[in-house]
């Protein structure tokens, strides 16, 4: 009898432990969060940011911090528009889910059924890649492969997709996760192929209008002088923020062109947390919500990640959403990075909790705040995630500075170019990208990226037949190198560009001389 009572007591204690483990917090200390955000904003020197938090279908916090433009008086509010960049991808996946429910497409339909001109690196992949494959980054490409084809270029959406055939694979088809903006663009272009409406029109009709997202748009062309807009900035530790221009992302829109405010994005979060329902209207089906949030391809969790986030055990990508576990809950999230803008959307469906963070500079704070808010909600051990991520950030800057210093120390400063400067000039062509031109101006070489008018690089001799390059007025990209390859007759046949950065792979451009 005593053994039975002991077992009952142990069982009761376990129930209480589980209860208190998962219900001890169940709320966010908003006053404390407000103070933390203000301090973190100063730490990162972010001109402005905004955040909104939804709990149980109610907006419990919605606020702006700082200014829309550095050194100006205009304050960021919860109605200030920011570029949400890749948070757009969830809208594109959701839009396609509507067509799936309507029986107009299937997730596993071949893409060429709707876009006959679509081709990739081999015939088998071209014929067999599906809508689902496009939306979960398993085409076989390295992350961001081909992004130079669309960024700031004059190419149309269709022209970008047509050039995708020249992107070289890094992994086997469906064998590995590799984030691809161009594949999401391709998925978005299925919408007009099926409906006759542009992606922009469809997104506005199916989401912006029913969710009362009045000021949200899909192009910076909709900005007016009266628009409440947060402007993008380039920020370097210890220096004042520099205002930079918005870059038009119309040609990659389904992958990242939406501009929105946290006030209106709160309704998007409410829709997601209510399994596709908003104010009584079922906009997305529960079945499709579940599919979009189910792992479609696994992502690796490194030993370092396991040590840094001890409660994280898996990481995956669904359809337009990143997935991982944290404190025993499934976290649905996505980040976004545009020129001078970083954002984060987070959903915890089991807790009816969601939030969005928008900033107008490049930083890691939205991700740091995600972990800070989740830890606070789950009553986990308090950790200053802003400082942790700021350490990651400054360490990255230090490594880049060391790389450049090492390269400078190792170069042969006494070497001379093999040819006269005029002999390096000419046009060089990449099948993937198009042409670059090297011209001689005022006795100096200048490199023009023809499809990308804003990319103009000044060349200075580095060593031998290699020149350093710095793009004019492009603050986010460091100094790189341009190497001219000579044949056995001493003539330039190829140019190799390398501008090390985490977003664009300039070495993809196999540029051969055409004149």
Please say if the pLDDT value at position 174 is more than 70: yes
CA distance 419 to 58: 69
How confident is the model over 265-323, as pLDDT tens digits? Answer: 999 999 999 999 999 999 999 999 999 999 999 999 999 999 999 999 999 999 999 99
Instruction: Report DSSP state, residue 169.
Output: P
Contact 236, 22 (CB under 8 A): no
Helix 365-377 vs helix 385-410: crossing angle, to nearest 10? 150
- Please report which residue ranges of 25-107 form alpha helices under DSSP H: 30-44, 88-101
Lookup: tokens for 114: 């709707």
How confident is the model over 179-199, as pLDDT tens digits? Answer: 999 999 999 999 999 999 999
Tokens 């031109």 belong to: 437
- Give the count of beta carbons closer than 10 Å to the beta carbon of residue 230: 29
pLDDT number for residue 26: 73
- Give the count of beta carbons closer than 10 Å to the beta carbon of residue 19: 10
Closest Cα partner for 497 from 414, 422, 435? 435
pLDDT number for residue 1: 46
Residue 11's pLDDT band, with cuts at 50, 70 and 90, is very low
How confident is the model over 367-412, as pLDDT tens digits? Answer: 999 999 999 999 988 999 999 999 999 999 999 999 999 999 999 9
- Please report which residue ranges of 136-215 form alpha helices under DSSP H: 157-163, 181-195, 199-203
Paired residues of 489 in beta bridges:
none
- Give the count of beta carbons closer than 10 Å to the beta carbon of residue 401: 11
Architecture of domain 27-399: 3-Layer(aba) Sandwich (3.40)
3-state secondary structure of 387: helix
Percent helix, strand, coil in the chain, to 5, is 35, 25, 40
Residue 491's pLDDT band, with cuts at 50, 70 and 90, is very high
CA distance 479 to 270: 44
How confident is the model over 136-156, as pLDDT tens digits? Answer: 999 999 999 999 999 999 999
pLDDT number for residue 15: 42
User: Does the CA dihedral 305-306-310-314 come out positive or negative?
Assistant: positive
pLDDT number for residue 23: 42
CA distance 185 to 135: 10
CA distance 85 to 151: 13
Range(s) of the chain covered by CATH 3.40.710.10: 27-399
pLDDT number for residue 4: 47
Residue range 421-513 forms a domain whose CATH class is: mainly beta
Please say if the pLDDT value at position 3 is more than 80: no
pLDDT number for residue 340: 97
User: How far are the Cα atoms of 45, 94, 98, 258 from residue 203, in angstroms, in the given order?
Assistant: 34, 9, 11, 10
CA distance 45 to 31: 21
- Please report which residue ranges of 204-332 form alpha helices under DSSP H: 253-256, 262-273, 286-292, 303-308
CA 1 to chain CA mean position, Å:
62
C-alpha gyration radius of the chain: 25
pLDDT number for residue 18: 41
Counting Cα atoms < 13 Å in the Cβ hemisphere of 247 gives: 25
Range(s) of the chain covered by CATH 2.40.128.600: 421-513
Mean pLDDT of 79-98: 98
- Contacts of 55 by beta carbon, 8 Å cutoff, 6+ apart: 27, 28, 351, 352, 353
How confident is the model over 23-76, as pLDDT tens digits? Answer: 444 789 999 999 999 999 999 999 999 999 999 999 999 999 999 999 999 999
pLDDT, mean over the chain: 94
CA distance 342 to 50: 11
């Amino acid at each position: 009898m005593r053994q039975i009572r002991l077992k009952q007591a142990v069982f009761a204690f376990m129930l209480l432990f589980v209860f208190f483990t998962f219900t001890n917090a169940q709320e966010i200390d908003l006053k404390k969060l407000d103070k933390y955000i203000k301090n973190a904003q100063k730490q990162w020197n972010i001109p402005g940011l905004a955040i909104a938090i939804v709990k149980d279908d109610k907006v419990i916090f919605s606020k702006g911090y700082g200014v829309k433009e550095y050194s100006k008086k205009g304050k960021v509010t919860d109605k200030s528009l920011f570029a949400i960049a890749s948070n757009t991808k969830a809208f594109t996946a959701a839009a396609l889910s509507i067509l799936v429910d309507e029986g107009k497409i299937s997730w596993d339909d071949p893409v060429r059924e709707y876009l006959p001109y679509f081709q990739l690196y081999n015939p088998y992949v071209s014929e067999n890649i599906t809508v689902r494959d496009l939306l979960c980054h398993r085409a076989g490409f390295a992350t961001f492969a081909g992004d130079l084809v669309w960024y700031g270029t004059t190419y149309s959406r269709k022209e970008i997709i047509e050039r995708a055939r020249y992107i070289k694979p890094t992994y086997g088809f469906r064998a590995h996760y590799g984030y691809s903006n161009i594949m999401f663009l391709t998925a978005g272009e299925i919408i007009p192929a099926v409906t006759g409406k542009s992606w922009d029109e469809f997104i506005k009709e199916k989401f912006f209008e029913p969710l009362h997202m009045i000021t949200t748009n899909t192009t910076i062309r909709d900005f007016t002088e009266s628009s409440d807009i947060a402007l993008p900035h380039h920020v370097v530790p210890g220096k004042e923020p520099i205002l930079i221009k918005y870059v038009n992302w119309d040609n990659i829109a389904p992958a990242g062109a939406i501009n929105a405010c946290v006030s209106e994005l709160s309704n998007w979060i409410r829709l997601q947390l209510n399994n596709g329902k908003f104010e009584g209207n079922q906009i997305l089906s529960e079945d499709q919500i579940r599919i979009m949030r189910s792992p479609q391809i696994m992502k690796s969790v490194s030993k370092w990640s396991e040590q840094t986030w001890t409660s994280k055990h898996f990481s995956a990508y669904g359809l337009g959403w990143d997935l991982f576990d944290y404190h025993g809950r499934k976290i649905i999230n996505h980040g976004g990075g545009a020129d001078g803008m970083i954002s984060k959307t987070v959903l915890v469906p089991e807790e009816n909790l969601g939030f969005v963070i928008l900033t107008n500079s490049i930083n890691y704070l939205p991700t740091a705040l995600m972990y800070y808010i989740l830890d606070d909600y789950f009553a986990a051990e308090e950790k200053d995630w802003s400082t942790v991520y700021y350490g990651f950030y400054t360490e990255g800057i230090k490594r880049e500075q060391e790389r450049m210093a090492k390269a400078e120390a190792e170069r042969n400063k006494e070497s001379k170019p093999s040819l006269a400067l005029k002999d390096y000039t000419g046009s060089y062509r990449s099948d993937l990208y198009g042409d670059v031109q090297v011209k001689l101006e005022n006795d100096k070489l200048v490199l023009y990226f023809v499809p990308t008018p804003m990319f103009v690089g000044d060349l200075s001799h580095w060593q031998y037949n290699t020149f350093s390059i710095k793009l004019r007025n492009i603050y986010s990209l460091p100094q790189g190198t341009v190497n001219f390859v000579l044949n056995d007759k001493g003539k330039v046949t190829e140019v190799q560009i390398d501008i090390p950065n985490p977003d664009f792979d300039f070495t993809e451009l196999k540029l051969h001389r055409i004149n």
